[in-house]
């Protein structure tokens, strides 16, 4: 992987397994670095080899330890900037604070914009991320953003199922466009759950817009956090007479408590997610399927490094 400048891939501590998978797909090694904490808790990072005039890619996703993840990323970016890296690309599969992208009620922050400002100030020149909660978040950045949709991973997976009478279901109106991306290759319609949120992490389904009676449903969302939306979606679909075999697919498996217990009790046939966030053993359960995003991300990294269009990867 050498072009007009050397490619170097570094990993933060949030998801080293994914960084290694991406490196393997690219046919390179993860670049050696030192990342540790001082006794005071402050973060230290240093690349062990020169990055001068290199094309640097830093893999760091947002986990349940999001604030530590982001502070480590800022330190890594500063180290690369001060070491004369030519370009510094942040590979953040799950974008931190993505849901705080607007002022929903008075005096709220727009933290997704704040994260964009901090990433830019720290030294990044490009962001690669997966399935942003809101596509407009790209406008918060003053540099290019590749928001790569993961629907092709789920399309490949579900094609093997050979469904009949399939309908793709969005958990709310905002996700209808993403649901349509998944539905169009199968030539099927979408349905939308009409829901409301009385408070944070609380969802209530009001009705189902679309024909789901007797059909196999795939509920599609960008993320599963506490599981409230997807549980109410399942209940609403069964109430409308959908086929009992209901599947749930989402890019980001946040799985905050009590999500796993909720999903175990709900009757989803399968729950299909990606490894954009590392899943510890205690959050695994029967029926959970994890698809790797490493081949998808490595394709984007290769195209960016070689100065090629990434449109083919998106499509």
Q: Where are the alpha helices (DSSP H) in 163-281?
A: 176-183, 228-239, 259-265
Domains of the chain: 7-149+294-314 (3.40.50.2020), 151-291 (3.40.50.2020)
For the whole model, what pTM was predicted? 0.93
Sheet holding 7-11, edge to edge: 7-11, 55-59, 87-92, 126-130, 145-148
CA angle 96, 303, 77 (to 5 degrees): 40
Question: What is the structure's pLDDT at 195?
Answer: 67
Q: What is the mean pLDDT of residues 214-238?
A: 95
Q: What is the mean pLDDT of residues 114-120?
A: 98
Percent of the chain with pLDDT over 90: 90
Q: Is the pLDDT of residue 202 over 90?
A: no
Do the Cβ atoms of 177 and 184 come closer than 8 Å? no
Catalytic-labelled residue, pool 8, 195, 215, 283: 195
DSSP 8-state assignment for residue 36: E
- In the structure, what pLDDT confidence band is assigned to residue 312 with cuts at 50, 70 and 90? confident
Half-sphere exposure of 176 (CA within 13 A, CB side): 13
Q: What is the mean pLDDT of residues 32-59?
A: 97
At 239-260, the pLDDT tens digits run 999 999 999 999 999 999 999 9
Question: Computed from CA positions of residues 214, 230, 140, 30, in that sequence, does the dihedral angle turn out positive or negative?
Answer: negative
Q: Is the pLDDT of residue 9 over 60?
A: yes
For residue 283, indicate whether it is catalytic: no
Q: Is the pLDDT of residue 199 over 70?
A: no
Q: What is the mean pLDDT of residues 140-158?
A: 96
CA Rg, the chain, in Å? 20
């Amino acid at each position: 992987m050498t072009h007009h400048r050397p490619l170097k891939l570094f990993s933060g501590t949030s998801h080293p397994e994914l960084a290694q998978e991406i490196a393997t797909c690219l046919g390179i090694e993860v670049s050696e670095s030192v990342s540790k904490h001082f006794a005071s808790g402050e973060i230290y990072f240093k690349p062990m080899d020169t990055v001068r005039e290199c094309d640097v890619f830093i893999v760091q996703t947002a986990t349940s330890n999001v604030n530590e993840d982001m502070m480590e990323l800022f330190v890594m970016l500063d180290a690369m900037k001060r070491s004369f890296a030519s370009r510094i690309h942040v590979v953040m599969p799950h974008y931190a604070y993505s849901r705080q992208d607007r002022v929903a009620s008075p005096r709220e922050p727009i933290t997704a914009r704040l994260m964009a400002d901090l990433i830019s100030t720290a030294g990044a020149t490009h962001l690669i991320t997966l399935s942003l909660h809101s596509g407009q978040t790209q406008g918060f950045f003053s540099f290019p953003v590749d928001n790569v949709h993961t629907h092709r991973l789920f399309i490949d997976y579900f094609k093997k199922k050979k469904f009949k009478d399939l309908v793709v279901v969005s958990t709310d109106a905002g996700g209808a466009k993403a649901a349509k991306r998944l539905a169009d290759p199968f030539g099927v319609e979408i349905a939308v759950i009409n829901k409301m949120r009385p408070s944070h992490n609380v969802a209530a389904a009001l009705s189902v817009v679309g024909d789901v009676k007797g059909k196999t449903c795939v509920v599609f969302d960008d993320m599963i956090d506490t599981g409230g939306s997807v549980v109410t979606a399942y209940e609403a679909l069964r109430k409308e007479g959908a086929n009992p075999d209901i599947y749930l697919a989402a890019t980001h498996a946040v799985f905050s408590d009590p999500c796993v217990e909720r999903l175990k009790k709900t009757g989803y046939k399968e729950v299909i997610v990606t490894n954009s966030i590392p899943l510890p053993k205690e959050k695994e359960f029967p029926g959970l399927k994890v698809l790797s995003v490493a081949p998808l991300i490595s394709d984007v990294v290769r195209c960016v490094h070689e100065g090629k269009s990434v449109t083919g990867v998106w499509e």
